[in-house]
Amino acid sequence: MRITQFQTNFSVGEIDPLIRSRTDIEQYGNALEEATNILVQPQGGITRRDGLVKIGGFPTPANYNKFKLISFEFSVSDSYILVLTAHSTTGRIYVFKDGVALTVNGASFITCAGITPAMLDEINYTQAVETLILCHEDLETKRLIRNSDTSWTYENVPFTNIPKYAFNFDTHNPNFSIAPSATEGNITITASSVSTETGQAQAGSASTITVKSSSSYADNYPNGMFITLTSGTGSGQTRHVESFVASTKVLTVFTNWTTAPDNTTHYKIEAFAPAAVGEYASVLTTFGRARYVEYVSATVMKAVVETPFFDLTPVVAGGWESEHGYEDTWSNTRGWPRSSCFHEGRLYFGGSKTRSNTLWGSRTIDYFNFEPGTGLDNESVEATINAAQLNAIVNVVSASNLRIFTTGGEFIIQQSENAAITPANFLVRPQTQLGSKPGLPIEDLNGASVFIQRQGKTLNAFQYTDSTAQYQVQSLSVLSSHLLKTPTDIASVRATSTDEADKIFIVNGEDGSLAVYSILIGQNVIAPSRFTTLGTFEAVGVDVSDVYVIVKRTVGSLSTSYNLEKFDSTYLLDSSRKGTSFPVSTVSAGLWVRVGATVSTVRDGLVDPTQVLPNTSVVTFPSPATASWEIGYDFTVTAKTMPAEPTLSSGSTQGVQKRILQVDALVHNTQNLKINNQSIAFRNFGQATDTPILEFTGTKTAHALLGYTKSGQITLTQSAPLKMNVLGLEYKMSVGN
C-alpha cells in the first residue's frame, strides 16, 4: 500500500523516547525524535542553529576552570556581560561590552577576594541601576558598582543595621529599677538604684572572672548587668553577668569569653553597655516591652516600644527581665544571605546559612538598613516560612508579587491591588509544592517565573491564572525531560522579531550540551532541541538579546581552553571568526582555533575541504578569498522525524515494514541538505562548482530512497556548514511488503 503523508511543522521539537508509542496525542505528528543543533521557529519550521563567534579566552585554565555569566544592563546604551571565575580564595570578574573585553581599574579583570570555585555553583545576584549584589551563604555579601566603563568598585555591602536574632536566647532579672520616659513610641529607659564597679581582676577562665577582693556585691546582685574588659588580657570584650558568688568573688558571664581574662585585666560593671543594642526590656508585673536601639550612657538607653507600658511608674528590680542572646543574623559566624532581589523600593534577602527559611526586606529606599523600628509602613520587614517540610529559600523574584522559591515549594507575598508591602501585611503564603534547584536563577517569561525543579528533572513555569485565581505551575518539559541532564545553569532571551520565539538555554552538567527551548505561548509552541559543540558548554548568559556561553574545548593532547563565545546568526561555524580585509590567501587562526584541530572554512560562499590546523597556526585557502571568509569548527546537524503512523482503516502500522519512496522538502533560503543520507542538489544545472551556492526557496525532492524499516522515519542532515531552513515535509511511503 502506498500513502502520502505531510508533516506541516515541527513545533513540538524533540520529545522524550518514552513517548514514542503515544501516537494518540496531538503533539506526536509535529514532533521530532531527534533535534540536534537545530532551532524550531515560531512558524513551525526548523533551521540550522547560529554559529558561535569567539569573543575571548581565559588564562591559566588549570586554575580558573569554573565560570558564571552575569548580565548587567545599566542603560539602553550601556550593557555588559560579566564573566565570574575563581581559584582558591580569589575570584575574578572580566567585563565585556559589545563583545569586547574592557580594561577595568587599569587591569584586565576585577579581583574579588573571598570567592572560591565551590561558591560559583550557588552564587546568587541581583541588580538595580549601577549596583550588582552578590550573595552566597559563605561569602560576606558583596556589591559591584559601575562607575564608568573602565571604573568599577567591588566591596562589602555597607549594612547600617543588620537584623538581629536570639541564637542564644537568655533572660535575667537585673537588680535595679528602670523607668520609661513614655508609654509608647521612641523613648528612653533610665536605670536607677544600681551599683556600678571598676577594678582589676584576680583571675579568669573561659566563662568566669574573679573580680577584685574588695568587691561589695552580694550574691547575684550584678546578674543581668554588663561587664566590659577595659584593659589587659581580653580587653574590649563585653558580656552579661550570669551569676556572682560573693564569698569567692567569682563572676560567671554569658556567653563565654573569646579570650579569657587574667590578673592583668581591668574591668567595669554597669547597668548598660553598647552591646545592649538589640536586646529587650520586658515588664513582668504589668505589661510593656521595648527594644534597645541606642546606647546613651551606663544608665540610659534609647528604645522603641513594641508593647506599650502600663504607665510611667518605675519598674523595680524583680518586676522586669532583660532578654538577651541576640546577635547579627548575618556574620562570618552565622553565615550570610543566599539570595536577593530589589522589589518596590526595598532590597530583599532570602534565606541564610543558619536561618534558611527566613525572608528580610530593608527599609524603603534605604537598601542596606534592616532596622525594624516600630513597624511603620516604610520600616524593614521580616517573615519566616513555617511549614511541615523544610523550605530553604534559594531565590526571591520581583514580579507582580514578590515570589519566593524554596527547596520545598513556591510562595508569594500576597498584595492587594495597588497596596505596598508593609510590616503589617508582610505575610508569606504557600502556592505550589515542587521546589527549586539551588544555584540556578529564575527566568522571566512574559510574567511567568521559569525554574528548574529541585531534582533537576523538569522545567516549570510559575504563574498566576485567572481561572483559579491563584498561582499554578505548568511543566514546560513534560514531553522532553530527557533533555535535562543535571542542569547547572539557565538563561533566557526574549524574541525581538516575529520570526523568533522566546528562548530558554539550559546548560547540562552531565554531558555539556545545551537544552534549548523555543517558546511562543500564544501559538502553543514549546519546542526543545539540543545544542552540541566541539567540547562542552559550561555556562550561559544573556546581554539584552545576545546569548553568550563559556565553552570548554580540548583538542588532541593540548591543554584545555575555556572561551567566551556568542551565538550569532551571521556565523555558520563555532569558535569562529570572519575576515575584514581582502584579498587574502592565508590566515593566522591560532588565536581562536587550536593547533591540531580540524577546522572548516567558508570562503566567498564556497565550502573548502577541512584541514588540520598546523603548528604554524596558518590556514591556507585553495585560492585567495576576495570578499569573505570564515574559519571555525563545524557541528553536526540532525533532525529525525518520529516513526510514521499513518491513519488507516486497517489499524496501526506499528511493526509493519515501511519504505520512504520520495520526500518533498519545503525549504526557505537553504543551501545544503541531506535527506536520509541522500545529498540534495542546490546548484543550478551547468553552474560551475567554484561559484557560491545560492540560497533556494521552494521544494526539493529526494527520490529512490532505498530500504525497508519498521519505523519509516526521515532524517535531515547536512554535508557542509551552509544555511538550512526546512518548513515541512511531504513524503510518499510504501506500507507492507
Tell me the DSSP string of 666-687: EEEEE---EETTEEPP-SPTT-
| Cβ(375)–Cβ(185) below 8 Å | no
- Per cent of the chain over pLDDT 70 is 98
At 653, the pLDDT band (50, 70, 90 cuts) reads confident
- Domain residues of the chain, as ranges? 2-26+649-735, 52-160+333-549, 166-328, 574-633
d(Cα 399, Cα 421) in Å, to the nearest integer? 13
Burial of 374 (0-12, 13-18, 19+ CB in 10 A): middle
d(Cα 586, Cα 574) in Å, to the nearest integer? 20
Q: What is the pLDDT of residue 4?
A: 84
- CB within 8 Å of 148: residues ≥ 6 apart: none
Strand pairing category for 226-231 and 164-172 = unpaired
Whole-prediction pTM value? 0.90
**Count of CB atoms situated within 10 Å of the CB of 219:** 11
d(Cα 350, Cα 397) in Å, to the nearest integer? 10
What number of residues does the chain have?
737
The tens digit of pLDDT for each residue in 131-147 reads 999 999 999 999 999 99
Q: What is the pLDDT of residue 644?
A: 86
Q: What is the pLDDT of residue 703?
A: 87
The tens digit of pLDDT for each residue in 464-496 reads 887 777 899 999 999 999 999 999 999 999 988
Question: Is omega for the bond preceding 255 within 30 degrees of 0, making it cis?
Answer: yes
**Count of CB atoms situated within 10 Å of the CB of 176:** 20
Least confident of 183-197, 410-424, 684-698: 684-698
The tens digit of pLDDT for each residue in 221-274 reads 999 999 999 999 999 999 999 999 999 999 999 989 999 999 999 999 999 999
Measured CA to CA in angstroms, residue 206 lies from 197, 252, 260, 261, 265 at distances of 21, 9, 5, 8, 14
Q: Is the pLDDT of residue 165 over 70?
A: yes
At 591, the pLDDT band (50, 70, 90 cuts) reads confident
The closest alpha carbon to 575, from 596, 553, 559, belongs to: 553
- Per cent of the chain over pLDDT 90 is 77
The closest alpha carbon to 716, from 706, 702, 703, 704, belongs to: 702
Q: Is the pLDDT of residue 15 over 90?
A: yes
The closest alpha carbon to 217, from 178, 248, 254, belongs to: 248
- Segment 629-645 shows an average pLDDT of 94
Three-state DSSP class for residue 418: coil
- CB within 8 Å of 385: residues ≥ 6 apart: 357, 358, 359, 391, 393, 404, 406, 411, 428
At 686, the pLDDT band (50, 70, 90 cuts) reads low
Q: What is the pLDDT of residue 655?
A: 72
What residues does 155 pair with on adjacent strands? Answer: 143
The tens digit of pLDDT for each residue in 522-575 reads 677 899 999 999 999 999 999 999 999 999 998 876 778 899 999 999 999 999
At 649, the pLDDT band (50, 70, 90 cuts) reads low
d(Cα 490, Cα 204) in Å, to the nearest integer? 56
- CB within 8 Å of 464: residues ≥ 6 apart: 400, 447, 470, 471, 472
| Cβ(428)–Cβ(381) below 8 Å | no
CA 212 to chain centre: 57
**Count of CB atoms situated within 10 Å of the CB of 694:** 12
The tens digit of pLDDT for each residue in 334-374 reads 999 999 999 999 999 999 999 999 999 999 999 999 988 87
d(Cα 51, Cα 602) in Å, to the nearest integer? 13
Q: What is the pLDDT of residue 574?
A: 97
CATH superfamily of 52-160+333-549: YVTN repeat-like/Quinoprotein amine dehydrogenase (2.130.10.10)
Going by the DSSP 8-state scheme, the letter that residue 212 receives in this structure is -
Least confident of 204-213, 549-558, 724-733: 549-558
Q: What is the pLDDT of residue 90?
A: 86
Q: What is the pLDDT of residue 61?
A: 57
| Cβ(410)–Cβ(403) below 8 Å | yes
Q: What is the pLDDT of residue 419?
A: 84
DSSP H/E element including 588: strand 584-588
Give the chain's count of helices (H) and strands (E): 1, 61
d(Cα 104, Cα 84) in Å, to the nearest integer? 14
Three-state DSSP class for residue 276: helix
What's the farthest any 2 CA atoms get from each other in the chain? 116
- Segment 107-120 shows an average pLDDT of 92
d(Cα 138, Cα 89) in Å, to the nearest integer? 12
Measured CA to CA in angstroms, residue 425 lies from 42, 469, 527 at distances of 42, 20, 41
d(Cα 718, Cα 598) in Å, to the nearest integer? 17
d(Cα 351, Cα 159) in Å, to the nearest integer? 17
- Segment 644-648 shows an average pLDDT of 76
At 408, the pLDDT band (50, 70, 90 cuts) reads very high
Concatenating the DSSP letter of every residue in 103-155 gives PBTTBSSEEEET--HHHHTT-EEEEETTEEEEEETTEEEEEEEEEETTEEEEE
Q: Is the pLDDT of residue 704 over 80?
A: no
